[in-house]
Structure 1
Amino acid sequence: MKSQFSVLTAAILATLVLAPVAPAEAKIPFFGSDSQEMPSLAPMLEQVTPAVVNISVAGSREVKARLPGGLEQFFGRGELRQEQPFRGLGSGVIIDAKKGYVVTNHHVINEADEIEVTLKDGRSFKAKKIGEDPESDIALLQIEADGLTQVELADSDALRVGDFTVAIGNPFGLGQTVTSGIVSALGRSGLGIEGYEDFIQTDAAINSGNSGGALVNLKGELIGINTAILGPNGGNIGIGFAIPANMMKNLVAQFVEFGEVRRGALGVSGRDLNTEIAKSMNVKANKGGFVQEVVPGSAAEKAGLKSGDVITHLNGKRIESFTELQAKVATLGVGKEIKLGILREDKELTLTAKLQAREETVAEAKTLHPMLEGATLKDGDDSVLVEDVANRSPAAMIGLEKGDQIIGVSRVKVANTKQLKELLSKASGTTALQIQRGNRILYILIR
């Protein structure tokens, strides 16, 4: 030990002797000194955070419980439904200070009878709903107040993986909180969180109560609305999702004009392009939307789109998958004109389509199967939407619920009520309906 210490001491002394001596008047700069300003997000946040609000809601919703065994002999098998009060917290973003428009998530204010918006300065106001869309999880509120601050919108289509992000919201009711991160991925879909998914993924910490809050860039511009997280027990593990600002902007424009979303329809069905499909179809691309069918008389057919085409761009922006195409088109209104970049037999073409009104087919489910009696079904986008379920009906007794989406029959995909009827007419014995309920996939058996 002594010899090692001597060698180390000699080395240190040699370094001190050989190192150049700084002039007496020289100063070493450090963060916080007069010579160099401490880098900080504070100046930007001071401008933006007044535009992010806390939202508290109250109301009542219907809850279901299985009838006690003693009552089933009188009323038969079924469920007991009753109203139960609830309260909730979330976040919102002021996007128009003059008109008092506040954007949030649909799930934050869903079924709420009372909505209160609290500003950063402590003022609180009652809010009214202007429009809401469960399938995209966006809602627009309005408050009457002076001295509001709005956030400016960025072009979310211009985002790149690696861009810095800042999330602002009200996690766990603590009050306004700021976290930072980067764009981890773009165009995330297939998560089963919403009907239309084209999420920005970020590692900025997002927790319960952040829903409806702002995701901004370093300029303080809104790039997304914080919506969901992926993590155990609702905790943050660095995987959060936000609805892109451009998607939100398109929906808000329809809320303001119509009070609802009037989706435009392209009129195609398809699937995500992958290596296997590209190889079998001899397509020189690995990403995009593969067109399986073009609906006769649709906007797609009128534009010249054909089965076998691969859609690679929408309005000049790259499309990674058919799911992303669906989500983007679904937020555009009836009559919107879009440009589609496609690959057809290795040729790059650009087609122009004018979106048409989406035709909705409503059907009494008893015409499809006796055990579905009591349910009202409607064509959705690549699914059959359960619009209503009558209390104590056969449909209710097998477990079907309002808002469910029927996406398959015995693992065969269903896109509309016509396909559902065809598959059920061919089925024999026990048949499994594949259901999407919120972010869960489940099966309901019918005989």
Structure 2
Amino acid sequence: MKKPMLVLSTLALSLSSVLTPIHATAALPLSVNGEQLPSLAPMLESVTPAVVSIAVEGTQVSQQRIPEAFRYFFGDDFPGNQVQERPFRGLGSGVIIDAKNRHIVTNYHVINGADSITVQLKDGREYDAELIGGDEMSDVALLKLEEKATNLTQIELADSDKLRVGDFTVAIGNPFGLGQTATSGIISALGRSGLNMENLENFIQTDAAINSGNSGGALVNLNGELIGINTAIIGPNGGNVGIGFAIPSNMMKNLTDQIVEFGEVKRGLLGVRGGEVTSELAEALGYNSSKGAFVSEVTEDGAAELAGIEAGDIIVSINGKRINTFSELRAKVATLGAGKTVEVGIVRDGEEQTFDVTLQEQSDVKTKAENLHEGLAGAELTNTTSTDKVEGVKIASVVEGSAAQRYGLAEGDIIVGLNRQRVNNVAQLREMLEEKPDVLALNIQRGERGLYIVVR
């Protein structure tokens, strides 16, 4: 008990020493020589109603490996893994991007695994929300408030491709569950990546204070326009050290538009492999910059090859916007969406060229089935490809001991029908499950035979 008391005492002393001189001085003037002092208050008064607090509850399913000694004593029938379910609660932030349709964007990690989502507006009103769709790799999710939510304020979007290092920023969110909070700073860097190499990252870096609970909140410019969704920080014990990251608004808009239209993210595919441009590589290729994405290999019959891009090219722009790294290229292409035609700028033999490329679709995009129906929890779903014998929704994996496994679903199964209706893809299945049927009669293709599995 002594150590916590010492820390608290030190903090109290520190606060007292800071506050005393302020009380001893006169109040700050509102104007100097008749001119109003600059203030962010007018902008925040118009923007903050569009930023919400999000509270979630759910059950976290985890697996624990059972020691082999147990199987030695109890036999080979003893399960190798033990499934544990633990209830959890979480807090985060969100931004109203469409007041008419009651749409709120937040981070995927804020609502991941949630059974219930409650949204609190700045004025104190609380509403339930449902998940429309999300993408774990880009950490974006789209929610919809219940119908009785009215008189909402939405935020206007800025063109995040026009941002510059040094632009002023304001972060708004719900840090540590304290309630809505605004902090200010500048853009420290653009195109940041490398926090999680499996994810799609093209972050805005800012020194505006971002802490736990700010996830999903707004990063705005001085005009009150949304430039990013606050997502991650680098700091000890979750505390702020002036290095925060936000998903650019353009990237977020591309993803949420796909979720609204298709019920899922249809990730774009350029069909190239490569890496960063090093100084040695630039010198060898006669390229006078270290910025861009080097193409080491072009996929056969891929979008890039069909458009004329070749191995050895350096991709320097997408739709006229400069590309600094291969990670930035990967994130932008994937989030633009399949079927989009983009202008790709390259450098070949020291000369710049442009190609119109129609992006193909990544076939390995997976959706967690619990986002669609609790009876399917533990299964990952993906669309079938041309190599599958039938068209439908493929079970990519099933967690041992999960609800999906208990109902009899297995990896490799293909869902071809639901309640006597044909199912062709994940988006169609999602739309059918939005009606929340009491019973799911799944028509399954398993190898060469068909079967029905009933899920309640």
**Which interval holds the TM-score relative to the shorter structure?**
0.7 to 0.9
Distance 1:34 1:225, change over 3 A: same
Structure 2 equivalent of residue 64 of structure 1: 63
Name the SS for the 1:269 alignment partner.
strand
SS at match of 1:223: strand
Q: Does the aligned pair in 2 maintain the 1:30–1:36 contact within 8 Å?
A: no
Q: Which moved more, 1:302-311 or 1:276-285?
A: 276-285
Indicate whether 1:149 and 2:158 are aligned.
no
Report the CA distance shift for 1:49/1:309 in structure 2 as closer, same or farther (over 3 A). same
Q: Distance between the aligned counterparts of 1:306 and 1:92, measured in 2?
A: 42
The farther-off stretch of 272-281 and 318-327 is: 272-281
1:411 corresponding residue in structure 2: none
For residues 195 and 64 of structure 2, what CA distance do their matches in structure 1 show?
Answer: 29
Pairs within 5 Å for 1:233-272: 233-272=237-276
Q: CA deviation at 1:78?
A: 3.2
Alignment match, 1:133: 135
8 Å Cα contact 2:267-2:365 kept in structure 1: no
**Rg: which structure is higher?**
1
**Residues 69, 339 of structure 1: CA spacing in aligned structure 2 closer, same or farther, 3 A cutoff?**
closer
How far is 1:296 from its partner? 1.3
**1:49 and 2:58 are equivalent in the alignment:** no
CA distance in 2, matches of 1:278, 1:226: 34
SS in 1 for 2:315: strand
Q: Could you say which residue in structure 1 is the equivalent of 2:415?
A: none
- Cα deviation for residue 75 of structure 1 reads 5.2
Whole-angstrom distance in 2 between the partners of 1:321 and 1:188: 9
Alignment correspondent of 1:178: 182
Deviation digits for residues 331-390 of structure 1 (CA, Å, limit 9, x no counterpart)? 01221010011100011101110111224499xxxxxxxxxxxx99999xxxxxx95365
Structure 1 length-normalised TM? 0.73
The aligned counterpart of 1:203 is 207
Aligned to 1:388: 397
Amino acid at match of 1:254: Q
CA distance in 2, matches of 1:229, 1:123: 29
Aligned amino acid, residue 58 of structure 2 = G
Give the equivalent residue in structure 1 for 2:74. 74
Quick one: distance in 2 between partners of 1:377 and 1:271? Answer: 30
Q: Deviation string for 1:390-414 (max 9, x for gaps)?
A: 539xxxxxxxxx9xxxxxxxxxxxx
Structure 1 contact 223–244 (Cα < 8 Å) conserved: yes
Contact kept, 8 Å, 1:165 with 1:181, in 2: the verdict is: yes
Q: Deviations over 1:127-176 (max 9, x none)?
A: 01111000000000011311000000000000000000000000000000
Deviation at residue 64 of structure 1 after TM alignment: 2.9
Q: Please list the CA deviations of residues 265-321 of structure 1 after superposition, one character each: whole Å capped at 9, or x if unmatched.
A: 111111011112112233232110000111111110111100000001110011001
1:313 paired residue number: 317
Deviation at 1:264, TM superposition (A): 1.8
Match of 1:91 in 2: 93
Q: Is the 8 A contact 1:137 1:194 kept in 2?
A: no
Preserved CA contact (<8 Å) 1:311 1:342: yes
- Give, in angstroms, the shift of residue 108 of structure 1: 0.2
Classify the secondary structure of the residue corresponding to 2:35. Answer: coil
Structure 1 position 189 matched with structure 2 position 210:
no
Offset at 1:184? 0.2
Residue type of the alignment partner of 2:308:
G
**Residue of structure 1 in register with 2:31 after alignment:** 32
Shift in CA distance, 69/359, structure 1 to aligned 2, threshold 3 Å: closer
2:337 alignment partner, SS class: coil
RMSD of the alignment, in Å?
2.5
> Given the alignment, which residue of 119, 122, 145 partners 2:121?
119
**1:365 corresponding residue in structure 2:** none
Q: Report the equivalent of 1:222.
A: 226
Instruction: Label 1:59 to 1:339 Cα distance change in 2 as closer, same or farther (>3 A).
Output: same
Q: Which residue of 2 aligns with 1:346?
A: 350
Deviation of residue 325 (structure 1)?
0.4
Count of paired positions: 347
Looking at structure 1, the residues matched to 130 and 302 of structure 2 have their Cα atoms a distance apart, in angstroms, of 37
SS at 1:276's partner residue? helix
Structure 1 pair 344–106 and aligned structure 2 pair: CA distance change class (3 A): same
Are 1:57 and 1:87, in contact at CA under 8 Å, matched by a contact in 2? yes
User: What letter is aligned with 2:50?
Assistant: A
Single out whichever of 269-278 and 163-172 deviates more from structure 2. 269-278
Question: SS of the residue aligned with 1:246?
Answer: helix
Supply the distance in 2 between the matched residues of 1:193 and 1:150 (Cα, whole angstroms).
33
Residues in 2 aligned to 1:75 and 1:171: alpha-carbon distance in whole angstroms: 50
Give the Å deviation of 1:192. 1.1
Give, in whole Å, the separation in 1 of the partners of 2:135 and 2:380. Answer: 20
- Name the SS for the 2:309 alignment partner: coil
Distance 1:391 1:176 in 2: 41
Structure 1: distance between partners of 2:353 and 2:173: 44
- Secondary structure in 1 aligned to 2:110? helix
Instruction: Report the counterpart of residue 106 of structure 2 in structure 1.
Output: 104
What SS class does the counterpart of residue 199 from structure 2 fall into? coil
CA contact 1:51–1:93 (8 Å) conserved in 2? yes
Alpha-carbon distance in 2 for matches of 1:55, 1:302: 45
Alignment of 1:285 with 2:294, yes or no, is no
Q: Is contact 1:101–1:140 with CA below 8 Å preserved after alignment?
A: yes
For the structure 1 residues 344 and 33, does the alpha-carbon distance in structure 2 shift closer, same or farther, using more than 3 Å as the test?
closer
Aligned residue type for 1:388 = S
- Cα distance in 2, alignment partners of residues 91 and 361 from structure 1: 26
Name the structure 2 match of 1:382.
none
Q: Distance in 1 between matches of 2:34 and 2:291?
A: 50
Q: Is the 8 A contact 1:185 1:202 kept in 2?
A: yes
Name the CA shift for 1:211/1:287 in 2 (closer, same or farther; >3 Å): same
